[in-house]
Chains A and B, each alone.
Chain A
Amino acid sequence: MDTVDRQSPLSTLLQISPISLILGFFLVLPIGTILIVSFWDYNDFSFFPDFVWTNYSDALGSNVTYKTYLNTLWYAGLTWFFTFIIGFTVAYFLAFHIHTTRWQIVLFLICTIPFWTSNIIRMISWIPFLGRNGVFNTMLQSIGLIDEPLEFLLFSDFSIVLAFVHLYALFMVVPIFNSMMRIDRSFIEAAIDGGANGWQTLTNVVIPLCKPGIAIGSIFVVTLVMGDYITVRLMGGGQRASVGVMMWNEISLLLYPAAAAHAVVLLAVVLIMVSLMMRVVDLKKEL
């Protein structure tokens, strides 16, 4: 057997070709197509090859775009915050308070049960629960807590963020749990021996060592929320805007080049956000 550094160029090529082909066909090619179409022109019923900047100037020159991005970032921020709190707490409980591997696995599987159904079903099931005459409002009214049903529960920012948190919390739990399991328990003993209290141990030992997990979870949650349209449309009652909804509206009205331009802008924004997160945590080093 040859050692790695003496491999022939041919075998190197063969080794990298499967992944390059897959990425080429399913990543580079589609993104390239979107990029090209974003410069095309269109009319009411068709779009055709051209090289115009109007799609970008329309997208970037409109107040609605900025408002929509702000709105989407707002959803992403809130969702990130709540999934982080929930994800960290759940992972912490599983990693440090459950002492047998068997129970860790059992409880972890229980966390995944809601994810056995489609995310559309999970989302839609909130609607009869939160509605004006829904289960929750009826319950509150029958125990006399409120007189009028709470309208903000459904078709609002509240319901959108609630659904996002419900849908994506597990994406935080898994990587954080994974990092916590790798923490050498003697670090924690050392911290306690050194006189640190619980809070100090958490902030000075556990959280810094969980950074890669937090970063991976955050990347999952933020990119999923930034690209979402169906949650915002269903839970917002079609009245709330997100970048995804804006693109969907354009696609349904046959404005493909305009939607492609928005897609390119969104891609750039998300890449910048991800690279900022990578800057905070050097994933390569930490893993």
Chain B
Amino acid sequence: MKNSTTLTSLSRRDLLKRGSAVALGAAVGSQAITGFPTIWAQNIKNVTLRQFGTGVSNINEIAKKAKEDLGITLEMTALNTDATAQRVVTQPKSFDIADIEYFTLKKVWPSGNMQPMDISKLKYFDKIVGIFKDGRLTPSSKIAQGTAPHTVSFTDGPNSKSFSKSMTNWYTMVPTIYNADTLGIRPDLIGRPINSWTELLNPEFKGKASILNIASIGIMDAAMVCEAMGEVQYGDKGNMTKEEIDKTMAIFTEAKKAGQFRAFWQTFDESVNLMASGEVVIQSMWSPAITKVRSMGLPCIYQPLKEGYRSWGGGLGLSRNLSGLELDAAYEYINWYLSGWVGGLLMRQGYYSAAPETSKLHMSADEWGFWFEGKAAQNDIMDPFGNKLEPKGAKRDGGSFEERMGRVECWNSVMDENRHMVRKWNEFIAA
């Protein structure tokens, strides 16, 4: 870590400080000779891009491969969801590329600290799935509630701080990763089928349930539960009224006071530990956390529920401060990101790639069948790091891509009544 930092800061300083003929040539070259890929590729070799994002996609393998393929040095910083929003808003000069979620984007885009991307420069735009264009997975599918990615994906021009309702040539963020979330359960400790979100508040699991303490995501899980119980009817779970928020939090506060929850978790590791230790048998959970518990040899299911999934998606956005050679390098990096290798890496951990077609080339037929098509594994399924995830014959919880992403009920979101929601959430935590 330390090594790479000093190395990269040196090379960057080389470029900036010395102002030598080489550096000057490179800088001038990047302006004048776009369209000559060989010379260009040489130039971007010296570029360092600082990227931050959540732990799910900020993994060193990506930086290593980018260095190999493009010559670009990536400095990755992994933060939690809330911290990514803070970083964009409060430290705009500290990053070049923001790897953030769409609902975070909705919150931070108006700050003007990010710049949109010119879609004509994106090589794989036509391979990106419909969810990130018009909101439809297939032409006939319905649009889910919440901050659906397509509602915050387009903007009117390079300097616009607002979102465009229809598709334009300016993409706020290039989608990279998404998934459909549901509840995780320990089938061995529960011993009966679970098929509804209502089970989270079932008194049978008193003191053995958990929900995540990230307000904007936790409220969604809470809403899925309250709606399934028939206690609250929502106009839009992703944009609740004050009254809907109050009702939802009242139901959860009552459950909390009755001792329903063992703990609330905020990080991936906490959710894994709660589940693996048997402190909790049913909780909000993320897909790789389930995988992690299973890899410890414990049964754990990402339980599909009849009311559908809560979904999230993330992508790469550019800092307002990027320009010239570094901006070109960022485009090159993003095009490379969608070209398939990274997609394969993400898909083999249980996420989905924004351009699945390209990822297919980097997965075996068996892996593609298991992760994307929901087919039974022909051989043992391994994760990208060489650990065995599933034995031969296993099937993915929830089935194929269409079965899972086609049943998304709501996206993670930021509401108009955000301030009220946050206050109510804090009261719930303190109750």
A87 to B262, CA, bound (A): 32
Within 8 A of B (CB), among A156-189: none
**B256 interfacial contact with A, CB 8 Å:** yes
Instruction: Please determine whether B418 and A239 come into contact, CB atoms closer than 8 angstroms.
Output: no
**B264 interfacial contact with A, CB 8 Å:** yes
The 8 A CB mask of B194-211 against A (1 = contact, 0 = none) is 000000000000010000
Nearest chain A CB to B425 CB, angstrom units: 8
A45 to B256, CA, bound (A): 30
Nearest chain A CB to B131 CB, angstrom units: 24
Given A44-B414, A253-B215, are A132 and B430 also a contact pair (CB < 8 Å)? no
When distances are taken between beta carbons in the complex, the residues of chain B under 8 Å from A252 are 80, 82-83, 86
A68 to B264, CA, bound (A): 18
When distances are taken between beta carbons in the complex, the residues of chain A under 8 Å from B215 are 249, 253
A267 to B48, CA, bound (A): 43
Instruction: Please determine whether A249 and B429 come into contact, CB atoms closer than 8 angstroms.
Output: yes
**A133 interfacial contact with B, CB 8 Å:** yes
Given A45-B108, A132-B278, are A241 and B430 also a contact pair (CB < 8 Å)? yes
Closest to A132 in B: B279
Nearest chain B CB to A123 CB, angstrom units: 13
When distances are taken between beta carbons in the complex, the residues of chain A under 8 Å from B279 are 131-133, 154-155
Partner of A151, one of B207, B265, B277, B418: B207
**B213 interfacial contact with A, CB 8 Å:** yes
Partner of B277, one of A64, A131, A238: A131
A71 to B431, CA, bound (A): 11
When distances are taken between beta carbons in the complex, the residues of chain A under 8 Å from B422 are 253, 255
Nearest chain A CB to B113 CB, angstrom units: 9
Partner of A132, one of B80, B89, B277, B419: B277
A237 to B215, CA, bound (A): 16
**A24 interfacial contact with B, CB 8 Å:** no
Instruction: Please determine whether A246 and B278 come into contact, CB atoms closer than 8 angstroms.
Output: no
Instruction: Please determine whether A254 and B89 come into contact, CB atoms closer than 8 angstroms.
Output: yes
A155 to B213, CA, bound (A): 15
Closest to A155 in B: B263
The 8 A CB mask of B11-49 against A (1 = contact, 0 = none) is 000000000000000000000000000000000000000
A64 to B425, CA, bound (A): 11
The 8 A CB mask of A108-140 against B (1 = contact, 0 = none) is 000000000000000000011001111000000
Instruction: Please determine whether B419 and A44 come into contact, CB atoms closer than 8 angstroms.
Output: yes
**B379 interfacial contact with A, CB 8 Å:** no
Instruction: Please determine whether B278 and A133 come into contact, CB atoms closer than 8 angstroms.
Output: yes
**A8 interfacial contact with B, CB 8 Å:** no
Q: How many B residues face the partner with a CB closer than 8 A?
A: 35
Within 8 A of A (CB), among B387-421: 414, 418-419
**B107 interfacial contact with A, CB 8 Å:** yes
Closest to A71 in B: B430
**A46 interfacial contact with B, CB 8 Å:** yes
Partner of A64, one of B107, B110, B426: B426
Nearest chain A CB to B275 CB, angstrom units: 12
When distances are taken between beta carbons in the complex, the residues of chain B under 8 Å from A253 are 82, 215, 422
When distances are taken between beta carbons in the complex, the residues of chain B under 8 Å from A249 are 215, 425-426, 429
When distances are taken between beta carbons in the complex, the residues of chain A under 8 Å from B89 are 45-46, 254
Nearest chain A CB to B299 CB, angstrom units: 15
A246 to B430, CA, bound (A): 8
When distances are taken between beta carbons in the complex, the residues of chain B under 8 Å from A241 are 429-430
Interface magnitude class on chain A: 20 to 34
Closest to A67 in B: B430
Instruction: Please determine whether A237 and B264 come into contact, CB atoms closer than 8 angstroms.
Output: yes
**B118 interfacial contact with A, CB 8 Å:** no
Closest to A253 in B: B422
Closest to A65 in B: B430
Nearest chain B CB to A154 CB, angstrom units: 7
When distances are taken between beta carbons in the complex, the residues of chain B under 8 Å from A151 are 207
When distances are taken between beta carbons in the complex, the residues of chain A under 8 Å from B414 are 44
Nearest chain A CB to B138 CB, angstrom units: 33
Instruction: Please determine whether A64 and B430 come into contact, CB atoms closer than 8 angstroms.
Output: yes
When distances are taken between beta carbons in the complex, the residues of chain A under 8 Å from B86 are 251-252, 254
Nearest chain B CB to A158 CB, angstrom units: 14
**B261 interfacial contact with A, CB 8 Å:** yes
Instruction: Please determine whether B213 and A45 come into contact, CB atoms closer than 8 angstroms.
Output: no
Instruction: Please determine whether B430 and A238 come into contact, CB atoms closer than 8 angstroms.
Output: no
Given A44-B418, A45-B110, A132-B277, are A239 and B263 also a contact pair (CB < 8 Å)? yes
Nearest chain A CB to B198 CB, angstrom units: 21
Within 8 A of A (CB), among B77-93: 80, 82-83, 85-86, 89
Within 8 A of A (CB), among B269-310: 270, 273, 277-279
Nearest chain A CB to B88 CB, angstrom units: 8
Instruction: Please determine whether A45 and B429 come into contact, CB atoms closer than 8 angstroms.
Output: no
Nearest chain B CB to A131 CB, angstrom units: 5
When distances are taken between beta carbons in the complex, the residues of chain A under 8 Å from B256 are 239
Instruction: Please determine whether A44 and B107 come into contact, CB atoms closer than 8 angstroms.
Output: yes
29 interchain pairs, CB-CB under 8 A: A44-B419, A45-B85, A45-B107, A64-B426, A64-B430, A127-B273, A131-B278, A132-B279, A133-B278, A134-B277, A154-B279, A155-B262, A155-B263, A237-B263, A237-B264, A239-B429, A241-B429, A246-B430, A249-B425, A249-B429, A252-B80, A252-B83, A252-B86, A253-B82, A253-B215, A254-B82, A254-B85, A254-B86, A255-B422
Question: Given A44-B107, A237-B263, A245-B429, 20 other A-B contacts at CB below 8 A?
Answer: A44-B414, A44-B419, A45-B107, A45-B110, A46-B111, A58-B423, A62-B427, A64-B430, A127-B273, A151-B207, A154-B279, A237-B264, A238-B263, A238-B266, A239-B429, A245-B430, A251-B86, A252-B83, A253-B82, A253-B422
The 6 A-B residue pairs with the shortest CB-CB distance, nearest first, are A237-B263, A238-B264, A241-B430, A252-B82, A155-B263, A64-B427
